[in-house]
Amino acid sequence: ELGDYAHFMEKEIFEQPQALENAMRGRFAEDGSTANFGGLNLSANELRATSRLMFCACGTAMFAGLVTEHLVERFARIPVECDHASEFRYRNTPLFSNTLFFVISQSGETIDTLAAMREAQRKGFKVLAINNVVGSTIAREADGGIYQHAGPEIGVASTKAFTSQLMIGAMLALYLGRIRDMSFRDGVEIVKALKAAPDLVREALQQADHIKQIAQRYAQVSDMLFLGRLELFPIAAEGALKLKEISYIHAEAYPAAEMKHGPIALINADCPSVFLVPNNELFNKVVSSMQEIKARGGPIIAITTDDADLPEGLADDVITIPACHEAVLPIVATIPLQLFSYYVAVERGCDVDKPRNLAKSVTVE
């Protein structure tokens, strides 16, 4: 089953272009300006009346919710909240009646996510599920949902299921946007951008050997920081989680500008930082944060877009990804982070597909 790959995680990283195609297949409207989901079981009217979205999930799936929060708020101007399912189930948060409630779960068996869903249903809300495993408990108990069609994910650390959730989140943001005030023209632009995602991911995957060499040089560190802003902050958090899960290196993520409010105290030559620094409206701000880290002797790995002009010598290592639309950037920026943690873990001799203390789906509280 592994073919030419050494681990399922590696195989699943390289399967992402296909998983993204599968998430999109048959889901764009004929006019090319929006997405459609057959399984939501909600009318355009009900969706139009939505005044708030809530996402509950665990682990990697929650980071997909946090990215989706940015895109839905930007494209559809609907306020979104995203919570750890394990917290939501006990915190008794007030929910407005026209809140649209989503859970996100690859396996559809995670008990905390299932409990959050049941709690929302108990309060009378319809719950929609973004889920990969067809016929899972969450899929069966949900009032509607969106299947990911990413194919089986065997590696415990989620890879293709995550980027597939990001794709569905972006399509959902587009769909909700078009129900509201997003123009035909903007919708067409986003559809084109999403359709380009598989090729952009293929391009990012071509950096594998370069990333492997970098990973081998950092494999023996004990602490790392992952820094990004806006929709790339949850991607930084996912990068840190991936590294923790499979290589057992302590890693933390912060919105880059938060470093000065405490975490910068950690910086020294033994604590490298991975910066997500695309050419966007915050490019210069992130560059300033990088300069602050460099001034304190912290090694820097920069993940940047090929249209950006990073100051010479600022980063010790640079990984370039193709410039792309903001709806797709979180997906493309995830690729080097997955490859980095994978190669670090392999270099350290870790059991990549079955990390210690972890299970693919956690069915106990």
328 and 196 Cβ atoms separated by less than 8 Å:
yes
Chain position whose Cβ is nearest to ligand BG6: 59
Residue 60 is a binding residue for ligand BG6 (CB under 6 A): yes
Residue 86 is a binding residue for ligand BG6 (CB under 6 A): no
- One of 212, 244, 354, 360 is an active-site residue; which one? 360
Nearest to ligand BG6 of 33, 107 (CB atom)? 107
Nearest to ligand BG6 of 106, 289 (CB atom)? 106
**What ranges in the chain are assigned the alpha helix state H?**
8-14, 16-24, 44-48, 59-76, 85-91, 111-122, 137-141, 160-179, 184-195, 197-205, 208-218, 233-247, 283-295, 329-347
By CB under 6 A, which span of 206-214, 263-271, 284-292, 355-363 interacts with ligand BG6?
Answer: 355-363
3-state secondary structure of 263: helix
- Is 360 one of the catalytic residues? yes
Q: What share of the chain is helix, strand, coil (3-state, %, to 5)?
A: 50, 15, 35
Q: How far is the CB of 365 from ligand BG6 (least distance, A)?
A: 12
228 and 275 Cβ atoms separated by less than 8 Å:
yes
Nearest to ligand BG6 of 102, 275 (CB atom)? 102
Distance CA 98, CA 176 (A): 14
By CB under 6 A, which span of 106-114, 120-128, 303-311, 331-339 interacts with ligand BG6?
Answer: 106-114
Residue 344 is a binding residue for ligand BG6 (CB under 6 A): no
89 and 115 Cβ atoms separated by less than 8 Å:
yes
Residue 110 is a binding residue for ligand BG6 (CB under 6 A): yes
Q: Residue holding tokens 């494999």?
A: 219
Q: How far is the CB of 193 from ligand BG6 (least distance, A)?
A: 25
Q: How far is the CB of 76 from ligand BG6 (least distance, A)?
A: 24
Tell me the C-alpha to C-alpha distance, in Å, between residue 2 and each of 111, 133, 288, 292.
Answer: 29, 20, 43, 44
Positions in 142-181 near ligand BG6 (CB under 6 A): 156-158
Active-site positions? 360
Rule CB under 6 A: which residues touch ligand BG6? 58-61, 105-107, 110, 113, 156-158, 358, 361-362
